[in-house]
C-alpha cells in the first residue's frame, strides 16, 4: 500500500478520502449510537468502560483528555473521579457525535469543556494531562502512529494512555464472531438505525485494526516507556495501557 492509500474497512481509498468517509459513518449513526452499542454488545460495553475507569488510576485533581469521546460515557465517569479540582476534556473529530455527547453531559449536570479536534493534531500543550483515553476510536484514525505520538506528547511524565478497542478474538470464537459481525450487525444496523452500511464498515474496521501485540509495539514505538494490555470477553476487546516515562 502506497503512502497515499489507506484502508476504509476492507476497501482501499485515498488517505484524503478516509476522514470524510469515517465522518459520514458517524454523522449517520450519532443519534442511535448508544442504543446500538447496547444491542451490539448486549450491554457489555458498559462493563468494558467500567473496567477502564476503575483501573485507570484517575484521582481527585487529575487532568484527563477523552479522545474520540463520542457520547461522553468515559468523560462523565472520569469527571466523577477527578472532582471539582480536576478537569476532563471531551473531544471528537465528528461534530454530530460531539454534539450528542455535549448535550448528554449538560443534561446530566456535567458542563465539561468540549473541543472538536483531530487526534493526529491535538490543540493542547506538551505535558498537560495525567491521563489520555480513547475508547473505540483509534481504529478509525488514518495515521494511528501519529495519533499515538500526539497522545504521548500531551501527557505528563508518569502519565497514562488508555486505549479501549476491539481486538483479535480468541481463535475458537472466531467462526461464531464472524457470523455475528457480518450477518447480524448489518441487519441490526438496518433495523434500528436504518443504516446497514455503517455497521458493515464497523465489522470490517475491526478486522483491519492491529492485533494486541502489534498495538502494544506501536505504543512503545510512539515513545511510551511501558505498554501492556488486558483482554476482555475472549479478546473481543482489549484495554491497552501505556505509561510515559
Which tens digits make up the pLDDT trace of 172-215? Answer: 999 999 999 999 999 998 988 889 898 999 999 999 999 999 99
The CATH number of the domain holding residue 136 is 3.40.50.150
Q: Is residue 110 situated within a structural domain?
A: yes
pLDDT of 3 over the 80 cut: no
176 appears as a binding residue in the annotation: no
Q: Is residue 38 situated within a structural domain?
A: yes
Q: Is residue 101 situated within a structural domain?
A: yes
Q: Is residue 57 situated within a structural domain?
A: yes
Q: Is residue 180 situated within a structural domain?
A: no
pLDDT of 2 over the 60 cut: no
Q: What is the pTM of this model?
A: 0.94
Which tens digits make up the pLDDT trace of 90-149? Answer: 999 999 999 999 999 999 999 999 999 999 999 999 999 999 999 999 999 999 999 999
Provide the number of structural domains found in the chain: 1
119 appears as a binding residue in the annotation: yes
- Pick from 51, 105, 53: nearest CA to 76: 105
Which tens digits make up the pLDDT trace of 216-239? Answer: 999 999 999 999 999 999 999 999
214 appears as a binding residue in the annotation: no
**Which structural domain, as residue segments, surrounds residue 159?**
5-171+200-244
Q: Is residue 192 situated within a structural domain?
A: no
132 neighbors 154 (Cβ within 8 angstroms): yes
Q: What is the pLDDT of residue 52?
A: 98
- Pick from 120, 114, 80: nearest CA to 97: 114
Sorted by sequence, the CB contacts under 8 Å of residue 41 that are 6+ apart come out as 48
Q: Is residue 195 situated within a structural domain?
A: no
Distance CA 54, CA 162 (A): 12
71 appears as a binding residue in the annotation: yes
Distance CA 119, CA 170 (A): 30
Which tens digits make up the pLDDT trace of 152-162? Answer: 999 999 999 99
Amino acid at each position: 500500500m502506497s503512502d497515499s492509500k489507506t484502508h476504509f474497512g476492507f476497501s482501499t481509498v485515498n488517505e484524503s478520502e478516509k476522514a470524510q468517509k469515517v465522518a459520514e459513518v458517524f454523522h449517520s449513526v450519532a443519534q442511535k449510537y448508544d442504543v446500538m452499542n447496547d444491542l451490539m454488545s448486549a450491554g457489555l460495553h458498559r462493563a468494558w468502560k467500567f473496567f477502564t475507569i476503575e483501573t485507570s488510576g484517575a484521582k481527585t485533581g487529575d487532568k484527563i483528555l477523552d479522545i474520540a469521546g463520542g457520547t461522553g460515557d468515559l468523560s462523565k465517569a472520569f469527571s466523577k473521579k477527578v472532582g471539582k479540582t480536576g478537569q476532563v476534556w471531551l473531544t471528537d473529530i465528528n461534530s454530530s457525535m460531539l454534539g450528542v455527547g455535549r448535550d448528554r453531559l449538560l443534561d446530566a449536570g456535567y458542563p465539561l469543556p468540549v473541543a472538536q479536534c483531530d487526534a493526529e493534531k491535538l490543540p493542547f500543550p506538551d505535558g498537560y494531562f495525567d491521563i489520555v483515553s480513547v475508547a473505540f476510536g483509534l481504529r478509525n484514525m488514518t495515521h494511528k502512529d501519529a495519533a499515538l505520538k500526539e497522545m504521548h506528547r500531551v501527557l505528563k511524565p508518569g502519565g497514562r494512555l488508555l486505549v479501549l478497542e476491539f481486538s483479535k478474538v480468541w481463535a475458537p470464537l472466531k467462526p461464531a464472531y464472524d457470523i455475528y459481525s457480518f450477518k447480524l450487525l448489518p441487519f441490526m444496523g438496518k433495523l434500528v438505525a436504518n443504516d446497514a452500511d455503517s455497521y458493515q464498515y464497523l465489522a470490517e474496521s475491526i478486522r483491519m485494526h492491529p492485533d494486541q501485540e502489534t498495538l502494544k509495539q506501536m505504543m512503545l514505538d510512539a515513545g511510551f516507556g511501558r505498554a501492556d494490555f488486558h483482554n476482555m470477553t475472549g479478546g473481543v476487546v482489549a484495554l491497552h495501557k501505556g505509561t510515559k516515562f
